[in-house]
Structure 1
Amino acid sequence: MSCATGSCSTSKPKPKASPPVRRSRNCSLPFRPPEPDSMTNSQPVPGAVAPTAENLARLRHHARRLGLFPRRVARTTGGGHSSRRRGRGMEFEEVRVYQPGDDVRSIDWRVTARRSETHTKVFREERERPVHLVVDLRQPMFFGSQRLKSTVACEIAATLAWTGARAGDRIGGLVFGTATAHHIRAGRGHLGVLHLLRALGETAQRLVVPQPDRHRLEQMVEETRRIAHPGAALFLISDFFDLADQPGVERQLFELSRHCDITLMAVQDP
């Protein structure tokens, strides 16, 4: 609208073009970027409403070893978890009768001499495993009578991530928002955790501006199947509000459980 000498002329604004659908560089699911006016460069939303990466980083002081051991391990890289596979390692397990195929370097000569039968020492190898944290931060998670489910989910994921990092595991995962999907490749140490926390904080901040959800639970599980390798530990954190509407999800989860150690963590409002 322009005004001069008491007269006004009105021009009809041009409609905004819809942002194009594109794919994340690290994730196969399509997403739309937020509208330019929906996310500003102002100060982030307070942590009580939407946690930031800095808030979540402080949880490293509360992380403890939770005993999250995998049931199957396929990798041979040394790490901080005991494997079901027996071999030469740092942790002694038992002495038993020698069996064909045992390493002769592990023969316990004292026990062999005492019992007149060849015995060998058995060690339990320590292995590392990738830990994938799959976090649902879709719009229904931005609700809570006392605390927001999205905030609780982020804090659970952050605590698990720090715990896994302390145990020597590689930390990665998937973070699903209303219109975004972040794939964080599993990395060692604090660096892997910080990449995950950054994705959690950015996605949680976007929940303040309501947007239609473009991801279904079955898409989330299918994407998890794509990145999960045998022997990985998976934690799926969600309120599972649409589980009943998608019967195929249970089958997907069962298939995942055959090759990975999967834990479902339901975040519910009391």
Structure 2
Amino acid sequence: MSEALSAPGIALRADPLIALRRRVLSAETPPVLAALPGGFATRRKGHGLEVADMREYVAGDDIRHLDRGTTARTGRLHIREFQEERDRVTLLVADFRPAMLWGVRRAFRSVAAAEALVLIGWNVIESGGRVGMMALGQGAPVVVPPAGRVRGMLNVIGGLVRAHEAALADMAAGQGGDPSLDAALSRADRLVPSGSEIVIASGFDVPGPGLADRLNALARRRVPRLVMIRDGQDLPRGVYPIVTRDGQRLRVALGGGAEAKDSTAAPVQTVAGHSALVLDAGAEIEATARRIAAAFPAERAA
């Protein structure tokens, strides 16, 4: 890969994506409300496999949950409390088609899409859920099956990095164009079970005639959520060389400024009949994290 394609904001690197976990952990979120009527804030405890807390035994506790090690060290009976089992499964869909491989400010739209999905993915992992990934490009999609814990999220990040490197290499070689988004999403419903969440980060270029039908079909048994990645800054006034989809080379005069559209003016837009959170690829990651935290509230226990 050329040096230009290895520059920050163009290449996708694993370390910055892993570091986004700190932003999720440090986010100030309200306590999770109980699943029971009344809306009281409670800790979610249950009979899962992960230990949530350790405390002294009180009359009525289930003696099967006694912790022998702590009891032996302290000389007093202690029991384990476990995390409630919640099988939240989320498929992160990253659009790395050629139309996403550009940007005029901080990062390519493809990089911003990956960052947004990773922020959402870390949130799901910290909630006790499982995360998988599908990256769309010119060829067959790159798929990482859903898995939980930090290792599952690291697998997703590795898949994103590999898929983005392949997309940049294809672009540099001048291979192909954008497959339609509706066709690229044809496998999404087979990768996760019913009731799962499917988060699609894309510019929604070349949607294809069947995108609305595809999203409606997903919505019957799953929960599609859309994140639209835009670059809210027009190019400076000047004459620019461009290449059209059919390979024709042109020079186009563009005058930015008055006609520029600020992506923050419309935080939510409609895509194929579904609401989409709008994110600016040129915005700093702190601003993106705040927008995502508001749109995808955490479900961690208090």
TM range (shorter): 0.5 to 0.7
Residues 81 and 224 of structure 1: CA distance in aligned 2, closer, same or farther (over 3 Å)? farther
Aligned length: 182
What do the CA deviations read for 1:190-220 (whole angstroms, capped 9, x no partner)? 1111111111112222333313146431222
Q: Alignment RMSD, CA only?
A: 3.1
- Which secondary structure does the structure 1 equivalent of 2:211 belong to? helix
Of 168, 171, 190, the residue aligned with 1:226 is 190
Distance 2:92 2:33 in 1: 18
Partner of residue 187, structure 1: 147
Partner of residue 61, structure 1: 22
Alignment of 1:135-214 (within 5 A): 135-146=94-105, 147-209=107-169, 210=171, 211-213=175-177
Partner of residue 133, structure 1: 92
| Displacement of 1:235 | 0.1
Of 222, 231, 237, the residue aligned with 2:201 is 237
Of 214, 227, 230, the residue aligned with 1:265 is 227
Partner of residue 74, structure 1: none
- Which secondary structure does the structure 2 equivalent of 1:207 belong to? helix
Gap runs ≥5 in structure 2: 37-42, 46-83, 233-302
What do the CA deviations read for 1:20-78 (whole angstroms, capped 9, x no partner)? xxxxxxxxxxxxxxxxxxx59x99823321111222111111125799xxxxxxxxxxx
Identity of aligned residues (%): 22
Check conservation: 1:178, 1:214, Cα contact below 8 A: yes
TM-score computed with the length of structure 1 as normaliser: 0.59
Of 51, 60, 74, the residue aligned with 2:12 is 51
| Displacement of 1:136 | 0.6
| Displacement of 1:268 | 1.2
Larger Rg belongs to? 1
| Displacement of 1:135 | 0.7
Alignment of 1:97-116 (within 5 A): none
What do the CA deviations read for 1:72-110 (whole angstroms, capped 9, x no partner)? xxxxxxxx99779xxxxx869xxxxxxxxxxxxxxxxxx
Partner of residue 217, structure 2: 255
Residues 91 and 150 of structure 1: CA distance in aligned 2, closer, same or farther (over 3 Å)? closer
- Which secondary structure does the structure 2 equivalent of 1:48 belong to? coil
Paired AA for residue 137 in structure 1: F
Distance 1:179 1:253 in 2: 21
Which structure is higher in helix share?
2
Residues 168 and 91 of structure 1: CA distance in aligned 2, closer, same or farther (over 3 Å)? closer
Paired AA for residue 251 in structure 1: D
What do the CA deviations read for 1:123-150 (whole angstroms, capped 9, x no partner)? xx86221110011111110111213101
Paired AA for residue 153 in structure 2: V
- Which secondary structure does the structure 1 equivalent of 2:9 belong to? coil
Residues 60 and 81 of structure 1: CA distance in aligned 2, closer, same or farther (over 3 Å)? farther
Paired AA for residue 185 in structure 2: V
| Displacement of 1:176 | 1.5
| Displacement of 1:236 | 0.7
Residues 81 and 222 of structure 1: CA distance in aligned 2, closer, same or farther (over 3 Å)? farther
RCO comparison, higher one (Cα < 8 Å, 6+): 1
- Which secondary structure does the structure 2 equivalent of 1:187 belong to? strand
- Which secondary structure does the structure 2 equivalent of 1:183 belong to? strand
